[in-house]
Amino acid sequence: MNGGTSFGRIFSVLGLVMLALLVLPVLGLALRAPWTSLAHDIVEPSVLRALGLSLAVSSGAAAFACLFGFPLAWILARGRFRGRHLLRAFVLLPMVFPPVVGGVALFTVFGRRGILGPVLEGLGIDLAFTPAGAVLAAAFIASPFFILSAEAGLASADRRLEGAASTLGASEGMIFRKVTLPALWPSLSAGLALTWARALGEFGATIMFAGNLPGRTQTVPLAVYEMFQEGDDGGAILLSLVLLIVSLAVLLGFRRRAFGR
């Protein structure tokens, strides 16, 4: 290679290695995929159902993370109480859990024999082996991404702007809507995108807690694994690529809207 400082050279070699690791697997999949049967395979009901279910489950998990995770992030960022660090450690736990173990843990709480089992049964709510269970499993594993991102955004927000808004007569709600939230949007959207993507790929907790039933709880990762086990690796690769493309499209579109660029 000619030209450039040695720093530049070292960095580009190392960066190229990383890029290769990221790009080559996708390339490998694309090369092995039986593209000729794509049109036929993709309209198969089980494939469409798995796709639809995956998108619904990850969106549900992301929404859950947003609704319940944002207040927690607020508490973490703005609370002034002892044990805040312990609380943050708990938030990190699902990232450390092996997902399958997470699934078993969910059983011990939300299963029929779980801590909340009787309560849920009394309310007529079924979580294990249901799509709602798949959402819960994905939310459990993926929420920390959103919470930590939101917390970072909240912690670095300029509180003086909120003071300025209140001198102008704004209520707490108005301050939150017009001052706090817009400033937070970059970190929130990044966290949301990450959570959604992680939920989309969730396997272990889902297969343990929600089970594997086509049309009800078989998300794309489960379907891909099953296809591969059956020897239909062509179909498995195709489905993986379809999911990849769909999620890329969603993420790109989302970030474009989020940043108005």
115 binds another protein (CB under 8 A): no
Q: Is 117 left (phi over 0), alpha (psi -120 to 50) or beta?
A: alpha
Is 16 an interacting residue with respect to another protein (CB under 8 A)? yes
Of residues 51 and 237, the one with the C-beta less far from another protein: 237
Q: Does 37 participate in binding another protein (rule CB under 8 A)?
A: yes
Task: Answer for the pair 134, 57: CB distance below 8 angstroms, yes or no.
Answer: yes
Contacts of 37 (CB under 8 A, 6+ apart): 234, 235, 238
Of the candidates 94, 99, 102, 111, which one interacts with another protein according to CB under 8 A? Answer: 111
Closest CA to 180 of 200, 160, 209, 199: 160
Q: Which two tokens stand for residue 84?
A: 């805040």
Asked if 12 interacts with another protein (CB under 8 A), we say: yes
How far apart are the C-alpha atoms of 240 and 234, rounded to whole Å?
A: 10
**Which range binds another protein by CB under 8 A, 42-50, 54-62, 66-74, 181-189?**
181-189
According to the binding rule CB under 8 A, does residue 234 interact with another protein?
yes
3-state secondary structure of 232: coil
- Interface with another protein, residue 257, by CB under 8 A: no
**Complex with another protein: residue 241 or 250, whichever CB lies closer:** 241
Binding segment for another protein (CB under 8 A), chosen from 30-38, 42-50, 69-77, 134-142, is 30-38
Q: Is 5 in the site for another protein (CB under 8 A)?
A: yes
Give the position of tokens 């966290």.
191
Torsion sign (Cα): 133, 251, 204, 90: negative
Kindly indicate which of the ranges 5-13, 72-80, 81-89, 90-98 contains the residues binding another protein, using the contact rule CB under 8 A: 5-13
Q: Tell the smallest beta-carbon distance from residue 232 to another protein (Å).
A: 8
Asked whether 237 and 99 are in contact (CB, 8 A), the reply is no
Q: Does 186 bind another protein (CB under 8 A)?
A: no
Contact positions with another protein (CB under 8 A) in 213-232: 213-214, 216-218, 225-226, 228-232
* Binding residue count for another protein, defined by CB under 8 A: 67
Structure tokens at 99: 């997902």
Contacts of residue 237, defined as CB under 8 A and 6 or more positions apart, other chains included, come to 29, 32, 33, 34
Contact between 139 and 192 (Cβ < 8 Å) = no
Residues in contact with another protein by the rule CB under 8 A: 1-5, 8-9, 12-13, 16, 20, 24, 27-28, 31-34, 37, 104, 107, 111-113, 128-130, 158, 160-161, 163-171, 174, 178-179, 182-183, 185, 207-208, 210-214, 216-218, 225-226, 228-235, 237-238
